[in-house]
Structure 1
Amino acid sequence: MNLITWNIQRGRTPRGDCDMAHTAASLRAVADADVICLQEVSSGYTDMPGCDGANQFALLAHHFPGYVPVVGLACDSAGEGVARCLFGNMILSRYPVLQVIRHALPWPPDPGVMSMQRIALEATLATPLGPLRVTTTHLEYFSRAQRSAQVQRLRDVQREAAAHAAHPRAGAAAGPFGAMPRGGAALLAGDCNFLPGSWEYHCLQAPFDDGTPVYADAWRLRHPGQAHAPTVCLHDHPGRPADPFTCDFVFVSADLAPRLAEVRVAPDEFGPDHQPLAIRLA
């Protein structure tokens, strides 16, 4: 199974415009992905650089017709006229999507900095490896207090989901009370806006006191002893020169660790400051 996670920054190209056809072609150039996790997908915005207000969620679904599109909106606010302004994450899956859960992450007040509502988008997929729970997220950039609270919430979600997987609920044959599975094997991918070695990084992977399976950094598992390949600012953009660093990750539960066959960062210049991160499970 091939998976790509990428903060597409609204589909930015090297020219500075936003072009979903270019984004789709870039994704296909990285790998023939079975699952794609995307952050910073927008619709309705005309006041962000390069955005023309197009519904990028619909455009991405159009460019990947063989995939099930799953949308998670972090921001949904009034726009000009009848259009609403939407911003969030997306999962595209070649595999059947058994269940989707959208987790609004904590947003405690931090009035001294800019911030926005954040979300973790969870989908349990029917894969050749069995039910697999894939979650994609984009944590707060400006507020460490909010980001720390969001990391704690992701740990709570992992604890809850692992318990559901281990102890399936009773349910009706159909309808909303139907007992849909929630994957035990889990993968968390996205733009975490923290650095390797930071408190948030270690907190997310810390052991649970009840034996809940922990998350582990896929890069460290596949490349022990090697520094993370940078995922941000490999290619300078006007007004945003910076030294390359890492804030995009894939974390996997312990049962997936032996299946990690490849973890790599695509080095090409696709347009956004962020690079696609690809993994392969054997």
Structure 2
Amino acid sequence: MRVVSYNIQYCKGRDGKIDPQRVVQAVQEADIIGFQEVDKAAARTGFIDQPQALGEGFSDYFWVYGPTVDALSRHHPRGNERRQFGNMIISRWPIVQSRNLLYTPRMGGANYLSVQLGLLETVIITPAGPIRAYCTHLHHLSPVLRLKQIEQLKQHLLEAPFEGSVISGSAGQDWSEGINEHEVPFDALIFGDFNLKPGSLEYEALVGTPHPHDPSSRLLTIDGLVDTWVVAGNKEEDGVSLIRDFETGSGLRIDYVFATAKLSKKVVGAWIDSEAVASDHQPYWVEFASPLFD
């Protein structure tokens, strides 16, 4: 199984052109994809319905879109369209349910850009069994806000299996249509542009503090997550998913796929596609061994 996280910068490539098809081509071989910064009906992207355009690029796949920004598209020719911006998950296998969760408080900016952000949750039925797949985008400026968002993310990850499906209990068929037959699994993957660097306080809030007897590993709690980049054999401080200097290739690793402990044991490889030009970020890929569950 191959998965990829990609901040697509509303399909705006290095050349400044808006091209959803170029994004699709960059991740065509993936089984599960988490996109961040997906636009819909925005003037800056020609009022394109990007979720629809991206979804059509994977004609046999399943997809859901979780807008975190929703407002009237004031300049749209039809006048009554909604301008949206958010996260998207595309899967080779059925997405049987989803929820879109908004981070609070938003803390509106007075002298900086402040955008409502959130967490898109899905339950996907893979050939090996169900997993949860999440897609998120954390605040780009404030570590204080990122820590609050991480706290909400981790709390939700822990509680979601006990909250049940989006329709649960003894509902009639006219209500459930079989939805209540699907349990919410514990195992999860979290795709996202986390806007944080390895070694930061926010990073430690996700993966734990360094092990006192083994600095190369982390103290993992039951609700903790594993950085798939590291478990694949890479160093925390290595890797660039946001290139700052194209001549030297230097930059930051701020795009991640985190996994719960059981799934992390199946990671067999991870890499960043430095050649992709469809966004200002680079796609981050992770490969898992088959079967996912023994």
Q: Shared fold by TM > 0.5?
A: yes
1:230 matched to 2:240? The reply is yes
- TM-score, with length taken from structure 2: 0.84
Paired with 1:92 and 1:235, the residues of 2 have a C-alpha distance of 31
Paired with 1:264 and 1:232, the residues of 2 have a C-alpha distance of 13
Q: Please report how far the alpha carbon of residue 202 of structure 1 lies from its aligned counterpart in structure 2 after TM superposition.
A: 0.7
Paired with 2:162 and 2:61, the residues of 1 have a C-alpha distance of 29
Q: Please report how far the alpha carbon of residue 89 of structure 1 lies from its aligned counterpart in structure 2 after TM superposition.
A: 0.7
Q: Please report how far the alpha carbon of residue 243 of structure 1 lies from its aligned counterpart in structure 2 after TM superposition.
A: 4.4
> Which of 42, 52, 58 is the matching residue for 1:64?
58
Paired with 2:10 and 2:2, the residues of 1 have a C-alpha distance of 23
The equivalent residue for 1:219 is 229
Contact 2:22-2:278 at 8 Å conserved across structures: no
Paired letter, 1:227: E
Contact 1:162-1:213 at 8 Å conserved across structures: no
- TM-score, with length taken from structure 1: 0.87
Contact 1:37-1:91 at 8 Å conserved across structures: yes
1:102 matched to 2:104? The reply is no
> Which of 37, 41, 48 is the matching residue for 1:40?
37
1:140 matched to 2:139? The reply is yes
Paired with 1:83 and 1:223, the residues of 2 have a C-alpha distance of 47
The equivalent residue for 1:85 is 83
Paired letter, 1:155: K
Paired with 2:222 and 2:136, the residues of 1 have a C-alpha distance of 20
Q: Secondary structure at the match of 2:287?
A: strand
Contact 1:172-1:179 at 8 Å conserved across structures: no
Q: Secondary structure at the match of 1:228?
A: coil
Map Cα deviations across residues 18-59 of structure 1 (whole Å, 9 max, x no partner). 11111111222xxx111111011101111x3xx211110110
Q: Please report how far the alpha carbon of residue 258 of structure 1 lies from its aligned counterpart in structure 2 after TM superposition.
A: 1.6
Paired with 1:222 and 1:25, the residues of 2 have a C-alpha distance of 25
The equivalent residue for 2:265 is 258
- Evaluate the alpha carbon distance shift between residue 3 and residue 243 of structure 1 in structure 2; reply closer, same or farther with a 3 A threshold: same
Contact 2:192-2:256 at 8 Å conserved across structures: yes
Q: Secondary structure at the match of 1:95?
A: coil
- Evaluate the alpha carbon distance shift between residue 121 and residue 61 of structure 1 in structure 2; reply closer, same or farther with a 3 A threshold: same
Paired letter, 2:263: L
Q: Please report how far the alpha carbon of residue 242 of structure 1 lies from its aligned counterpart in structure 2 after TM superposition.
A: 9.4
Contact 1:222-1:262 at 8 Å conserved across structures: yes
1:76 matched to 2:70? The reply is yes
Contact 2:6-2:34 at 8 Å conserved across structures: yes
- Evaluate the alpha carbon distance shift between residue 171 and residue 104 of structure 1 in structure 2; reply closer, same or farther with a 3 A threshold: farther
| Corresponding residue pairs, total | 267
1:23 matched to 2:52? The reply is no
1:13 matched to 2:8? The reply is no
Paired with 1:257 and 1:213, the residues of 2 have a C-alpha distance of 13
Paired with 2:6 and 2:125, the residues of 1 have a C-alpha distance of 22
Q: Please report how far the alpha carbon of residue 179 of structure 1 lies from its aligned counterpart in structure 2 after TM superposition.
A: 5.0
Contact 1:107-1:118 at 8 Å conserved across structures: no
The equivalent residue for 1:199 is 201
Paired with 1:111 and 1:242, the residues of 2 have a C-alpha distance of 32
Q: Please report how far the alpha carbon of residue 128 of structure 1 lies from its aligned counterpart in structure 2 after TM superposition.
A: 2.1
Q: Secondary structure at the match of 2:17?
A: coil
The equivalent residue for 2:159 is 160
Q: Please report how far the alpha carbon of residue 85 of structure 1 lies from its aligned counterpart in structure 2 after TM superposition.
A: 0.7
- Evaluate the alpha carbon distance shift between residue 114 and residue 226 of structure 1 in structure 2; reply closer, same or farther with a 3 A threshold: closer
1:111 matched to 2:82? The reply is no
What fraction of aligned residue pairs are identical, expressed as a percent? 27
- Evaluate the alpha carbon distance shift between residue 196 and residue 136 of structure 1 in structure 2; reply closer, same or farther with a 3 A threshold: same
Paired with 2:109 and 2:236, the residues of 1 have a C-alpha distance of 38
Map Cα deviations across residues 105-152 of structure 1 (whole Å, 9 max, x no partner). 123425343211111111111112311100010111123332221111
Q: Secondary structure at the match of 1:157?
A: helix
Paired with 1:116 and 1:171, the residues of 2 have a C-alpha distance of 39
Q: Secondary structure at the match of 1:89?
A: strand
Paired with 1:244 and 1:224, the residues of 2 have a C-alpha distance of 16
Paired letter, 2:37: E
The equivalent residue for 2:218 is none
